[in-house]
Homo-oligomer: A and B are copies of this chain.
Amino acid sequence: MIVTTSIIPSFLETRKASEEICTPLHTEDYVVQPIVDVSPPKWHLGHTTWFFEEFILAKYVQGYKRFHPDFAFVFNSYYESVGKRVVRTDRGNLSRPTVKQVYEYRNYVTNALHRFLEDNENDNVLDLVEIGIHHEKQHQELLLTDIKYILGHNPLLPAYHETFNEHSKSLKPKTNFITIDEGVYQIGHTSTDFCYDNELGVHKVYLHQFKIADQLVTNKDFLAFIDAGGYRDSLLWHAEGWDWIQNNNIESPLYWHQIDESYQQYTLSGMQPLNLDAPVTHISYYEAFAYAQWADCRLPTEFEWEVAQKYFDWGHRWEWTESAYLPYPGYSKAPGALGEYNGKFMVNQKVLRGGSIATSKNHTRYTYRNFFHPHLRWQFTGFRVVKDNQSHKI
């Protein structure tokens, strides 16, 4: 006898979670887009809704009436093959639809899909709903980090939530290094649980022996790098990283504020003294790499990370790896618009592994491949180091 679990509870819970993230916001906070990488919260709420409407309701529900004929234009993100879209830099210029209308849109689509699912749990639709759920969970992560950016770059520096703790997990006083032996290892997603297409293509890789840190680099560690002049020594940096810190006057992680002699850090609970024992966060790949150069270490590849992860804790910071975001052997993207989900970003980006405090429940796994351009810092990024031999400064 096969017992299948309905997808409806997971769907409803996900829809609700997005809205709960926004509970502390004022209407105005939903609207702005201070940099191109940060989207207005109401856009995230609308876009995740449009995804369900466009790819399921409009295709599978007979006689479905769209909530508004122009919302597909407003809330499409990057699906070139589905029609025109509001270019990304314009999202913050849109005062309409209002936040209220966006919530009405959410309810309309949530209810319509709920009703539909009660009668129609066919496999094709279920797969799409599952993708839609995970798509929305990804946007929940962006929602929180975009909100942090919006509030953390406002001159009034308002808190998101007074009791939000960005660092709930304690680190050990001393980092140990785990040795992984040389050999052939298997990479990729094998279970029947959900995963993205970029995790498929199970394949073998050959790894040489390496030693990987069992915990993340801390604020204290990173402060030592700053104090040693790390941001002023061009030999530690990629050429593009060096240009980037020069052109943007980068001298510390994002959200650090040097006030008199010491550092404060903007967090989701407002300005706080820098917590030296917390893992460093909001750093770019360039900074992670420069730190590793300085410490005579290196970053792990994504394969080293995947093989070693069972020996250490992770999930508190997204971890930069040395790996470029590329397709696995045998990778083939889905046909049509959904094929635009991952494959078209597989150039000029770096893989991150793990997850962060902004990651939604049940969203990440050890085969999960996140990816960002190397200069981006607004996610809860972090890193651990690897060494190939004995000499290192840590």
Contacts and interface: CB of A to CB of B under 8 A. Distances in A.
Contacts of A203: 206, 208
Contact of A95 (B31, B90, B96, B346): B31
A78 interface: yes
A74 interface: yes
Interface residues of A, number: 69
Contact of A347 (B73, B86, B240): B240
Interface string A61-76: 0000000001001100
B96 A344 contact: no
Interface stretch (A13-21, A173-181, A249-257, A324-332): A324-332
B322 A326 contact: yes
Provide the main secondary structure of the chain A interface: mixed
Interface string A335-365: 0100110001111101000000000000000
Contact of A374 (B94, B156, B348): B348
Nearest to A242: B80
B208 A329 contact: yes
Given A205-B206, A208-B203, A347 B241 contact: yes
A2 interface: no
Interface in A38-82: 42, 70, 73-74, 78, 80-81
A28 B74 contact: no
Contacts of A42: 28
A167 to B, nearest CB: 25
Contacts of A235: 80-81, 336, 339-340
Contacts of A285: 347
A93 B346 contact: no
Interface string A92-115: 111111110000000000000000
B348 A28 contact: no
Contact of A93 (B33, B86, B204): B33
